[in-house]
Chains A and B, each alone.
Chain A
């Protein structure tokens, strides 16, 4: 290979672990509708936990990172549709202004585990009580940046918030500008996402390139958040999840 193509081990291993076939999506297919309706059921919860455990066994976290952080991959029922709950950061934030992320943050001294961190941050940011969150599984951490620039290891914690009405939540305006509940059906539709290949300068001889998903919501979901969405969908509803390819499909709007 004389071109600059090197795959990121974590992302691709994750994709290959989900060795499930992708079915062409038929909107009227009853099995698809059933799958969507049952995404937050107990049965699916068990299956998701098994998938995550299998994935965690096969993944090696390459580098020991000094800081730890956790995010809550929040699943919820909004308007009777299973959704993922995401927050938009306000524009006055120093880092990542205006970007979309899951509720979460850095680990504090008082936290006993990463799940604790995720739940505490969720309560601080969107005012959803810790006790009402049904935690499913914790996925092995991903670095917040690639290669040498990584400072934190971020643990995604999958949790079910139950029935949520976004207008009822008491959001903290310093940390959250607004709350978005995106239906899982929207995130699965190939029309609503694309991929982007990034190439960063590295030590010679070859730069490092990697592929990341982008979801076309109002502010785009990309970066680490996009990767978490992709991973979580792979565990939640693998038979309808289209695996990431090397930017081969193009969405023409």
Chain B
């Protein structure tokens, strides 16, 4: 190597240019010597360490820990954490309590508790005090409840964790539930119900109805948004009994993202376990705990409703909504990932987003339904999955006079699934699912919820890479097989709006069992 440098310089030696270069740049006395005496820095190849320089210290490349660590405390509380780089962390408590546990309680109890989350407790007199306290820790907090879980979470500065755990222990286990706050929560839920009824967006109502149709009268079929009548029955005693029955340490998980596990464990033991031993709702009292298993029943639910179309400046289209569902699987089932791929394959959404064939919406419900039938306003596929059951449904919207055709199109799509997919379609669905998974898991609050929910439901967290592997392994045979499983069970049917033209459940059942998915012919005077 040094020879080639010499030859480079020798080429320049006899030049006037080289004289200038030598004088201009290389003015050190070393270089004015003979070219064979080049300094070591120039003659040592880059692949060798310089003898004159100090020995480099390399940063240790240990295995990057994406591992979720889980431990259980002595009172049954599970503590789990996911290491993540950053100044902020997200920590929260997840409780295995939700609207599915309300069979012995007036509907809406857990919704009430969601409104009352982070309100007056023994150390903090009002909700404002709590908000200010969390703000001083550098962040925000929120309480959310769904059908099977209630989550109390906050995102704060990593170094102020201890104060937050103390706050959690107080807010979750020592609420004072004063009458003023209960009244406020009551009013806010009444307002929310009014808004739900007024707004033309059908999704929350339709989700309620299809759950009720699919899981008639049990667990996840119980209403999440309470009807007005039962709200009046909820009082302090009801709330306290619910808390006593379900807010027990063995039903809870404390999850943290971006925190140190040992630190988190110690603080939980110190504050949360201590607080849970003597909560404000007192451990002596009636306990009404329900551990029902969700059972898919199938069935029909119809809600006749006329929407107020005058709410906006532009006249809104008059729509009726219908949802056809079939039994799926729970999220611990081996077939859960194929169902997720199927959901992605069907896809769907509103016709406004369809934008025409060239836009790039390639899921089946866009290609086969929304791009072909201009009168379909929306068609979306959902797979609702819980720890002991699930169902797959397609929700469609159209003008009330074309509701029968709408259902017809949906049943045909269901039956078409048994013919399988082509390679391009399947690959696209799998890639879309993988990329959606990885992209969502870049956000810290979503990692928190993912870790917390998985540990709460199954005790184990499947890492995103594991899930991507499972998604990759889904084949066309899997899709055909699960389509067969779907169509072998009883259907669930839910309708909202003007339902004069909605076919009966029997018709839908025969359509799903037939080879072409067509509804039985009916004599109609006017063909529309």
Contact = CB atoms under 8 A, between A and B. Distances in A.
Interface of A: 2-5, 91-92, 94, 96-99, 177, 194-200, 209, 212, 214, 219-220, 222-223, 246-251, 253
B362 to A, nearest CB: 30
B184 interface: no
Interface stretch (B22-30, B129-137, B465-473, B483-491): B483-491
B217 A200 contact: yes
Contacts of B105: 3-4
Contacts of A97: 298, 488-491, 509, 513
Interface residues of B, number: 35
Nearest to A196: B292
B490 A196 contact: no
B64 to A, nearest CB: 33
A98 B288 contact: no
A119 to B, nearest CB: 28
Interface of B: 103-106, 216-219, 222, 233, 237-238, 241, 288-295, 297-298, 332, 487-491, 506, 509-510, 512-514
Contact of B291 (A91, A222, A247): A247
A196 B293 contact: yes
B292 A195 contact: yes
Contact of B292 (A98, A99, A247): A247
Contacts of B288: 3, 5
Given A2-B237, A92-B513, A209-B104, A196 B488 contact: no
Contacts of A198: 103, 216-218
21 contacts: A3-B241, A3-B288, A4-B105, A5-B104, A92-B510, A92-B514, A94-B506, A96-B490, A97-B490, A98-B489, A194-B292, A197-B103, A197-B104, A199-B222, A209-B104, A212-B295, A214-B293, A219-B489, A223-B297, A247-B290, A250-B291
Given A196-B219, A196-B293, A196-B295, A3 B104 contact: yes
A98 B490 contact: yes
Contacts of A5: 104, 288
A244 B236 CA distance: 31
B329 to A, nearest CB: 12
A249 B222 CA distance: 20
A248 B289 contact: yes
Contacts of B103: 197-199, 209
Contact of B293 (A4, A246, A248, A251): A251
Contacts of A196: 218-219, 292-295
Contact of A220 (B241, B295, B332): B295
Contacts of A250: 291, 293
A194 B512 CA distance: 30
Contacts of A200: 216-217
A97 B509 CA distance: 8
Contacts of B488: 91, 97-98, 177
Nearest to A98: B489
Q: Which of A3, A222, A247 has the most CB atoms of chain B within a 10 A radius of its CB?
A: A3
A92 B487 CA distance: 10
A92 B520 CA distance: 13
Which 5 pairs between the two chains have the least Cβ-Cβ distance? A250-B291, A194-B293, A92-B513, A98-B489, A198-B217
